[in-house]
Every structure is written in structure tokens, then in C-alpha cells.
Amino acid sequence: MRPVLLMKVFVTRRIPPEGRAALAQAADCEVEQWDSDEPIPVKELERGVAGAHGLLCLLSDCVDKRILDAAGANLKVISTLSVGVDHLALDEIKKRGIRVGYTPDVLTDTTAELAVSLLLTTCRRLPEAIEEVKNGGWTSWKPLWLCGYGLTQSTVGIVGLGRIGQAIARRLKPFGVQRFLYTGRQPRPEEAAEFQAEFVSTPELAAQSDFIVVACSLTPATKGLCNKDFFQKMKETAVFVNISRGDVVNQDDLYQALASGQIAAAGLDVTTPEPLPTNHPLLTLKNCVILPHIGSATHRTRNTMSMLAANNLLAGLRGEPMPSELML
């Protein structure tokens, strides 16, 4: 009886238990994992992926030509534990006939919840308020102390009315938002109808919105979209939130806008780089709330993502339809 040839799978990080179990139960695969919660060094990634048939990676793993060359001709599938794919050299991957799996939809609601949480935290100045309680700054009730901005009767601008952008608008609507604006590559009248959202240009959105939430994909067209010109058009009382990708924002321009009082406040769940250095100027500002990219960080969502990533990988290796394949 001929021995069964196992397909080599390399996993670049510890992943949640459901996805890990799905891979462990695959009798036709031999799984090797970088056993750490920290990013894998490039040299270790090159070593681990050599000869692999499948790679399960994270958005912090840059899978470029160098890594693909290190993998060699066996590599048939790359499955990323993310909805974003800007860390993958897609042109090179397509050229080599490698299939790609990703995890859309499953993190939409969780990320929208985080966006709303971050917006409320930022506009109502909660980190400042918590700090004042801890440091003794809370001396009495004061009429003008720690006043922020509310959503009732406001105009909210959403950059990118995709799945996550719509989910954010859906959650903000009950707060009494008066008007929704959105911008993107093209109008989306069917999706916008639920919120009576108006399609406007990016400068119009910047100028008219009380709150701006960036929820677009990172593309050559959106890289650096939120820059000095964008912030100069915003109201002095406006609040800016980014939950998409750090590179959509020019952070030096954002710092100047916040430090000079050109805009009221900003909340970021994504930065460039990640992690943001602890001496970064944005971290010195009271009116800037920065989170460590936790948009999808609930136990249920991360488990679901890991299961989908594992199933994408296994289906691809077996020549079957993937649950969520990125068509290249």
C-alpha cells in the first residue's frame, strides 16, 4: 500500500481554537505553526513556507515575491485571516496561479460596533473624563467642563458605503442622525436608500459633516485621501474616525489639524505603522483616541474568522470551491 503524501500547511501565528482544530483534524495535511502571538520574523517565514502547499497568514504578514519565491512551486493556496488583502502581492500571486481565501462578511457587525464605540468615546471625550477621575481633576459638577459633541440632529459622512459602512450607518441612525452623506467610487442608490444617504464628492463630505467615519478599502485611489486639504475643509467642531487602514490618512496632516484646533477630535483604530511608536506625536494629544486595531476583536468573531480561514485553505488544497475566495 502506497503511503499517503501529506500536504504541508504553514500557519504564521497562533490562531483561535476553532480554526486550529479544523486544521488539526485534516488527515491529508501536515500542519506547522509559528507558535507565538507576535509576528513571525521574515527569515522564519521564508523557512516555514518553503515547500508548503498552503499558507495561512495574517494581515501583518507581507506576502511578497520574496516569500512566494521561498515557498516554491508547491504553493497552491494562501488563506488570510482578514478581509483586507493589501498585504498580499496579488499580481504576483495571480501570475503563479495561486488561489486566495479571505474572511469578508463575518467581521462586518463587530467592526461596525467598534466604529460606533470609538466615535462615541472620541466625541464625548471619555478617555479625558476617565483620566480626570483618576488624577483628582474631578472637583465638582461644572457646566462647561468636558463638553463634547452629540449625534442628535447631526450630519454623518461615511467614506465608503460598503458592507461595514452600511452597518455603521444602520447603528448610528437610531441616535437621531439627521442626515447621512457618503462618498466612494460610484453612487450606491440601493444601499443608500435605507438611510436616505446622499452621494457627494469627498470635499463636500468633508465640509458638510459633523462626524466623518472612514470605512473604505485601501487602494491607490484612497491612499492618503484624508490629507491637509481634506482636514482644512472640515468644520472646527467635526470629529474624524478611521477604522479602515492607516494609509488612507496622512497622519502628519492629521496631527497638525488636531493640534491647531482645525478639527475637534479624532479616533483611530488603524495607524501607520502598526503598532504606532509610543513616542508618536499623535499620542501626545488629548483629542486623539487611538486603539490597537481591535475592530474584529470579539471571541465569537475571531473564532468564526479562524474557522473560515481554515476552511478556505482546506478547500483550496483539495481543489474544491472555497467558502470565501478572492477572485483574481
pLDDT at 5: 79
Residue reference for cell 507565538: 36
CA distances from 230 to 10, 129, 208 (A): 42, 29, 12
110 band by pLDDT with thresholds 50, 70 and 90? very high
pLDDT-derived band at 146 (thresholds 50, 70, 90) equals very high
* Sequential DSSP letters for 162-195: SHHHHHHHHHHGGGT--EEEEESSS--HHHHGGG
Residue 4 predicted with pLDDT over 60: no
Q: pLDDT tens digits, residue range 233-244? A: 999 999 999 999
Tell me the percentage of the chain whose pLDDT exceeds 70.
99
Q: Given this model, what pLDDT does residue 171 score?
A: 98
| CATH superfamily, with its number, for domain 107-290 | NAD(P)-binding Rossmann-like Domain (3.40.50.720)
Give the model confidence (pLDDT) of 182-207 as tens digits: 999 999 999 999 999 999 999 999 99
Of the pLDDT bands very low, low, confident and very high (cuts 50, 70, 90), residue 151 is very high
Grid coordinates representing 240?
A: 474624524
The per-residue pLDDT of the chain, averaged, comes to 96
Residues annotated as part of the active site: 293
pLDDT beyond 50 at 27: yes
> Where are the domain boundaries for CATH 3.40.50.720 in the chain?
7-105+299-326, 107-290
> Which residues touch 176 (CB under 8 Å, ≥6 apart)?
151, 152, 153, 154
Q: Which amino acid is at 279?
A: N
What mean pLDDT is predicted for residues 29-48?
Answer: 96
CA angle 296–319–29, rounded 5-degree value: 70
| pLDDT score for 2 | 45
Amino acid at 297: A
Segment 266-306, tens digit of pLDDT: 999 999 999 999 999 999 999 999 999 999 999 999 999 99
Report the predicted TM-score, pTM, of the whole model to 2 decimal places: 0.89
For residue range 242-267, what is the model confidence (pLDDT) as tens digits? 999 999 999 999 999 999 999 999 99
Cα separation, 5 vs 254, in Å, equals 54
**Please, which pLDDT band fits residue 1 given cuts at 50, 70 and 90?**
very low
7-105+299-326: what fold?
Rossmann fold (3.40.50)
